[in-house]
Amino acid sequence: MIETVKLSERAKNQLVVLKRKTGITNWNVLCRWGFCISLKESSIPPEETKLKLNSSVEMTWKIFAGKNADLYSAMLIQRCKQDGIKLSDKNLNEQFKLHLHRGIAYLANDSNINNISDLLALSIK
């Protein structure tokens, strides 16, 4: 399964914007939000062949997922099954990376998110 979570420079910059808007200071918390927002989207995230995981933001799966690691793993596995993606470590890692980056981009580019309350409002839509 996933051991290390790495981000692109673009995602890092988007997280900086989100940190400023929401006041949430921990990368892992914002990454969790992004991951879940992407899972909520019905479409399969597009493959990004040019996605370079070249930023200084890197964390272990344990840091990303915290005490809910089994839940996040189950959510990813369920989504892969739903999308007809064969379950393998390679595919799970790739789908996680794509969902994470898509979700971070969604959040960073959402002009309705100006504070933590706006972010929380997404969870009830």
- What digits encode the pLDDT tens for the residues 11-37? 999 999 999 999 999 999 999 999 999
Domain extents for the chain? 4-122
Percent of the chain scored above 70 by pLDDT?
A: 98
8-state DSSP, 44: P
Distance, in Å, from the CA atom of 45 to the CA atom of 99, rounded to the nearest integer, reads 6
CATH number given to 4-122: 1.10.1220.160
User: Does residue 118 surpass a pLDDT of 80?
Assistant: yes
- The secondary structure of 58-98, three-state, reads EEEHHHHHHHHHHHHHHHHHHHHHHCCCCCCHHHHHHHHHH
Average pLDDT over every residue of 49-67: 87
pTM for the full predicted model: 0.93
pLDDT band at 49 (very low <50, low <70, confident <90, very high): low
CA distances for 13 relative to 18, 92, 100, 108, 125, angstroms: 9, 25, 14, 9, 26
Average pLDDT over every residue of 58-84: 96
DSSP three-state, residue 5? strand
